[in-house]
Amino acid sequence: MDSIRDPQQDWLADTRTSYDTVAAAYTESVRDLLDRTPYERAMLAVFAEAVRASGGGPVADLGCGPGRIAAHLHGLGLDVRGIDLSPAMVALARREHPGLDFRVGSMTALDLPDASMAGLVAWYSLIHVPDPELDGTLGHFHRVLRPYAPLLLAFHAGEETRLKTEGYGGHAMRLHVHLRDPDALADRLKAAGFAVEARLTLTSAESAHGAVVVARRAAA
């Protein structure tokens, strides 16, 4: 007898396959979003300033997609590399931004040394991590960040999970989008060893109900 598929089963494989499928269409759909989102640009500038103020060093854009956020941060003077689950997205990022370092990987199991990063960004990418995996993922963020290094999270605000079956040019997808309450996420960050410095909710071209949280890894 065939087993019934758990809605959260194989979420990494579903996410990878979905973004491999829509990579080219997605790249075109988000290409100019930062040009139309001044609040998001301001938060990225705050993050870049925080990285420099804490001594500078390598920064990772987690779930980097086609590399637009990594490229923007590079333009702000940061030493940034991108990591994404989707090989097709990484290939596009390398083509779009040949001077930057992009590699395939998962934010749930970061292949980075302990305390090696001067900053981390997860820009509308943590939204695909299910709740049972969230605390472990935040633990990985804490592990690879240096003490006092900043973490910038952008995500859709809310308290529900949606199944996305189509998008970006009408291509078939199968992945879950987890909306999260900024205060609840801030509490989980604190439990993971972060000091939360700012949170912002907004409506923009990025998200009809978006949120940004800025935190720092505590000293220990």
| pLDDT tens digits, one per residue of 37-54 | 999 999 999 999 999 999
Tens digits of residue pLDDT in 88-126: 999 999 999 999 999 999 999 999 999 999 999 999 999
Instruction: Read off the pTM.
Output: 0.93
Burial classification of residue 194, based on how many CB atoms lie within 10 Å of its CB (0-12 exposed, 13-18 middle, 19 or more buried) = buried
pLDDT at residue 219, rounded to an integer: 80
What count of Cα atoms within 13 Å lies in the side-chain half-sphere of residue 107? 32
pLDDT at residue 220, rounded to an integer: 66
Going by pLDDT thresholds of 50, 70 and 90, the confidence category of residue 173 is confident
In this predicted structure, the answer to whether residue 73 has a pLDDT above a threshold of 70 is yes
Tokens matching residue 71 = 């490229």
Going by pLDDT thresholds of 50, 70 and 90, the confidence category of residue 1 is very low
Question: Which one of 3.40.50.150, 3.40.50.10420, 3.10.450.50, 3.40.190.10 gives the CATH number of domain 11-217?
Answer: 3.40.50.150
Going by pLDDT thresholds of 50, 70 and 90, the confidence category of residue 170 is confident
Q: How far apart are CA 56 and CA 63, in angstroms?
A: 21
CB 113 within 8 A of CB 146: no
φ/ψ of 36, rounded to 5, equals: -110, 10
Report helix angle 87-96 to 68-75, nearest 10. 40
pLDDT at residue 194, rounded to an integer: 98
pLDDT at residue 21, rounded to an integer: 93
Find the mean pLDDT for residues 17-40: 93
What count of Cα atoms within 13 Å lies in the side-chain half-sphere of residue 109? 4
β-pairing verdict for 171-178 and 161-167: antiparallel
